[in-house]
Amino acid sequence: MRILNFGSLNVDHVYRVPTISRPGESMPCTEYRVFAGGKGANQSMALARAGAPVWHAGKVGVDTGWLKERLAEAGVRTEWIRVADAPGGHAVIQVEDSGQNSIVVYGGTNRDITPAEAAETLAAFSPGDWLLLQNETNVTADLIRLGHEAGLRVVFNAAPMTADADDLPLQRVEFLVVNEHEAAALAGEQAEAEALAVMLARRCPNTGIVLSLGEDGVLFRAARGGPSLRVAAYRVRARDTTGAGDTFIGFWLAALARGMNMGKALDWGCRAAAISVTRMGAMDSIPTEAEVAVFAG
């Protein structure tokens, strides 16, 4: 069993501010740091730190090639990361003293993947392998379709939410991972978490819905009318919530892929996310498997 994560790689420029700036407002920052990031790269790092066999596919620019080296040093297989003579992806992140953040993302080479590159990569994997996707790269529809047709177990994290996400072939996804805002956008209306999960399940009856609820934990609704379950979050003092969702996904999927039941796998992800928000940065905040094993909340 292998996990292929076809996802973004970004350089994160993080600015610490008293409060997130409003339109027309200029605000001095109290700290500036540069981190490795991108939802895809963060999730690959989380998978690797959770002990999973993970391959990352994607594209970096000549200015962001060090991201490939960073993942390789952590044990991620990187032979499917291509390097282009173009600017790579980056993000500008404001983090306020409460730990909340505001993020602007420039796609760069993450948005320059060709259908042929996608097909070539997926052809190297086998039925029963996992394919993890996010919504920060292009050709997402092709990847979902090709992965499903190849017998891969497709997991799609619909983040960040975009207008075209509604047109993706979500019925071919085994697990759909969303937060409340993303779930409401796909459902077409605002509602309570349980109602959103029901609406998404009706739209994608063969898909398990993983609905993350921040400090309220996570709600899971099984495919084909199966049972729902809730897993509580762990209470910690947050410093920076950037990358918490990516940490959750990596540890949850790693646990699920090695045979842990859904409830325990979701709890494993919640434990890892709780540790991550107590640290600064996205990729740099991801804990190790050993840290998660001893975490008591």
- Do strands 153-157 and 208-212 pair parallel, antiparallel, or not at all (unpaired)? unpaired
Closest by CA to 212, choosing from 163, 252, 174, is 252
CA angle, corner 87, sides to 85 and 92, nearest 5? 160
Three-state SS at 167:
helix
246 catalytic residue (yes or no):
yes
Task: Name the DSSP letter for residue 287.
Answer: P
- Helix spans in the chain (H): 39-49, 66-73, 115-122, 140-149, 180-187, 193-203, 244-257, 262-276, 289-294
Catalytic residue selected from 112, 246, 267, 284: 246
Total residue length of the chain? 297
Closest by CA to 268, choosing from 233, 223, 228, 220, is 233
Which active-site residues does the annotation give? 246
